[in-house]
């Protein structure tokens, strides 16, 4: 417990998700004394793995595939391989099965992917190739708060495409395969595809596949959390689990507190310390659609009709662009579509540490209205069966999370929102409030470093990194 540690720290980080760990590492690297406090018994936030179904089947409870973790400008600087992290790269990052038994594919090769799209080859290259060419400069700019970019021309060119709704971009493609592939990419934005800026996440994830792949941490997502924690501890950092912060009075003496939590929890813990304007802004912060998640233990691999789908780490299940766009719009209006868009990951096809020999651990979810308690298991399995006949016959056991259960498991998932708040035009750069620095609260020494700050959701640690940089300038500039 805390009384067995130092009684004061330079900084305390509340929450041990990827952003909390990134913030703590950034501060500890500067020679500060940093403590992480975590409410749960295991660290990681959305990076946790457990035997949810049967013994020997390791399931990623939340995040599973990590294109932005592998590409993260901050994580890339850390010696995580030395602390047990190993990534596995499926050759096909994502596949998008269609009703005719074929599948559009996103591979690590830009040219191979473009060629597979037939007459849309040049359309695809014109859209994605410029991003891949300036990737090393562009990605750090995109994973940062609002600022004047180092390459304003390149950033502006990206922005012209990113700002547009995914529906507009889809109309530029001619084939159902290209349109469907694009729909799956853009649907990661978890909002209607007709919204402005929904092209942004699609462009980033697509380009990431060609530059760094969509990798899988060997042994489960917990491996990434553990590697970050072990590195932090090697620098002299301290971690205390089973420490649920409900009040600032619980914390040891410190100069700065960084919260890897969303505005709702922050108000509960420290709202009385904030200005009335800042409180009002946090109260107005908006959360987006939730998810309903299913984990399966299977007798064999998912029997996709498409051979390409059998070789993909991630599957986007929803058939055509039009079907997916309709399902996402319906969900945003508070309804449950009969044919929802499904994200499915089959990690054990590539990582034999995830399940007993010959058997598989499979992960999948669909979007649902925020706070939904509806059991979507049958609907999800029917949609998987649509592209993989015989799937249900292979199920040995299953485990489900509705939005309420997800929030109970991880309080950052308000109403099942895994992005820490909707990332639409209104909250793209002003999350969680309109301020000179989105990481500062109105109270000196208190900061927010979660995915409710720029650049938002995803396992990249950049929210935590930028929040820690802000604290270093404000509080520790003479350290």
What pLDDT, on the 0 to 100 scale, is given for residue 477?
Answer: 86
Rounded-to-integer distance, Cα 417 and Cα 409, Å? 12
Per DSSP, what are the bridge partners of residue 253? 8
CATH of span 2-39+243-286+421-474: 3.50.50.60
Phi, psi of 386, rounded to the nearest 5 degrees: -55, -40
Rounded-to-integer distance, Cα 142 and Cα 158, Å? 10
59 with 359: CB under 8 angstroms?
no
Q: Look-up: residue for tokens 């233990």?
A: 297
- Length of the chain as a residue count: 479
In which element (H, E) is residue 177 found?
helix 176-186
Q: Please tell us whether the domain made up of 87-215+289-409 is placed in CATH 3.30.310.
A: no
**What are the 10-residue block averages of pLDDT along the chain, 479 residues in total?**
65 98 98 97 96 98 95 97 97 97 97 98 97 96 92 91 96 97 98 97 98 97 98 98 96 97 98 97 97 98 97 98 98 98 98 97 98 98 98 98 97 97 91 96 98 96 98 88
What pLDDT, on the 0 to 100 scale, is given for residue 139?
Answer: 96
Q: Look-up: residue for tokens 């409710």?
A: 452
Strand order in the sheet with 253-259: 238-240, 34-37, 8-14, 253-259, 446-448
Closest to 114 (Cα-Cα) out of 125, 104, 128, 103: 125
What pLDDT, on the 0 to 100 scale, is given for residue 429?
Answer: 82
87-215+289-409 and 2-39+243-286+421-474 share a CATH fold: no
Residue 106, sorted as left (phi over 0), alpha (psi -120 to 50) or beta, turns out to be beta
Domain ranges of the chain: 2-39+243-286+421-474, 87-215+289-409
What pLDDT, on the 0 to 100 scale, is given for residue 65?
Answer: 94
Rounded-to-integer distance, Cα 350 and Cα 269, Å? 42
Q: Look-up: residue for tokens 């942004």?
A: 200
- Using a CB cutoff of 8 Å and minimum separation of 24, what contacts does 27-32 make? 27/258, 27/468, 27/471, 27/472, 27/476, 28/232, 28/235, 28/236, 28/237, 29/235, 30/472, 30/476, 30/479, 31/479, 32/476, 32/479
């Amino acid at each position: 417990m805390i009384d067995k540690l130092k009684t004061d720290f330079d900084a305390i980080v509340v929450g041990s998700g990827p952003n909390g760990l990134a913030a703590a590492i950034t501060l500890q690297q500067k020679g500060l004394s940093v403590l992480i406090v975590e409410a749960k018994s295991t660290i990681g936030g959305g990076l946790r793995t457990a035997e949810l179904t049967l013994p020997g089947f390791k399931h990623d409870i939340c995040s599973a595939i990590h294109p932005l973790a592998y590409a993260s400008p901050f994580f890339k600087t850390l010696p995580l391989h030395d602390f047990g992290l190993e990534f596995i790269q499926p050759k096909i990052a994502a596949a998008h099965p269609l009703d005719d038994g074929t599948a559009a594919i996103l591979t690590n090769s830009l040219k191979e992917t473009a060629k597979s799209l037939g007459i849309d080859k040049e359309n695809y290259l014109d859209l994605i190739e410029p991003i891949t060419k300036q990737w090393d400069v562009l990605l750090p700019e995109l994973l940062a708060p609002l600022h004047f970019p180092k390459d304003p021309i390149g950033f502006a060119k990206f922005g012209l495409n990113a700002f547009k709704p995914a529906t507009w971009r889809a109309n530029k493609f001619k084939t159902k395969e290209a349109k469907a592939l694009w729909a799956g990419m853009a649907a990661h934005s978890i909002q209607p595809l007709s919204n402005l800026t929904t092209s942004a996440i699609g462009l980033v994830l697509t380009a990431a596949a060609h530059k760094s792949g969509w990798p899988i941490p060997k042994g489960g997502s917990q491996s990434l959390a553990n590697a970050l924690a072990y590195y932090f501890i090697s620098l002299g950092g301290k971690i205390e689990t089973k420490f649920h912060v409900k009040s600032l009075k619980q914390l040891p003496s410190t100069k700065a507190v960084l919260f890897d939590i969303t505005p709702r929890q922050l108000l509960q813990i420290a709202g009385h310390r904030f200005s009335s304007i800042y409180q009002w802004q946090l109260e107005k912060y908006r959360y987006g659609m939730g998810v309903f998640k299913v984990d399966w233990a299977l007798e064999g691999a998912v029997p996709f009709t498409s051979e390409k789908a059998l070789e993909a780490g991630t599957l986007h299940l929803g058939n055509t662009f039009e079907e997916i766009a309709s399902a996402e719009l319906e969900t945003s209006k508070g309804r449950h579509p009969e044919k929802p868009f499904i994200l499915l990951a089959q990690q054990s096809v590539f990582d034999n540490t995830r399940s007993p020999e010959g058997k598989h651990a499979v992960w999948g979810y669909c979007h649902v209205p925020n706070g939904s308690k509806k059991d979507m298991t049958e609907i999800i399995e029917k949609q998987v069966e649509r592209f993989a006949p015989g799937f249900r016959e292979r199920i040995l056991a299953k485990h489900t999370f509705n939005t309420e259960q997800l929030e109970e498991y991880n309080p950052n998932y308000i109403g099942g929102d895994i992005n820490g708040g909707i990332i639409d035009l209104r909250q793209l750069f002003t999350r969680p409030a309109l301020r000179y620095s989105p990481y500062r609260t109105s109270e000196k020494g208190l900061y927010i470093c979660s995915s409710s700050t720029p650049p938002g959701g995803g396992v990249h640690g950049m929210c935590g990194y930028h929040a820690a940089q802000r604290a270093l300038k404000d509080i520790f500039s003479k350290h």
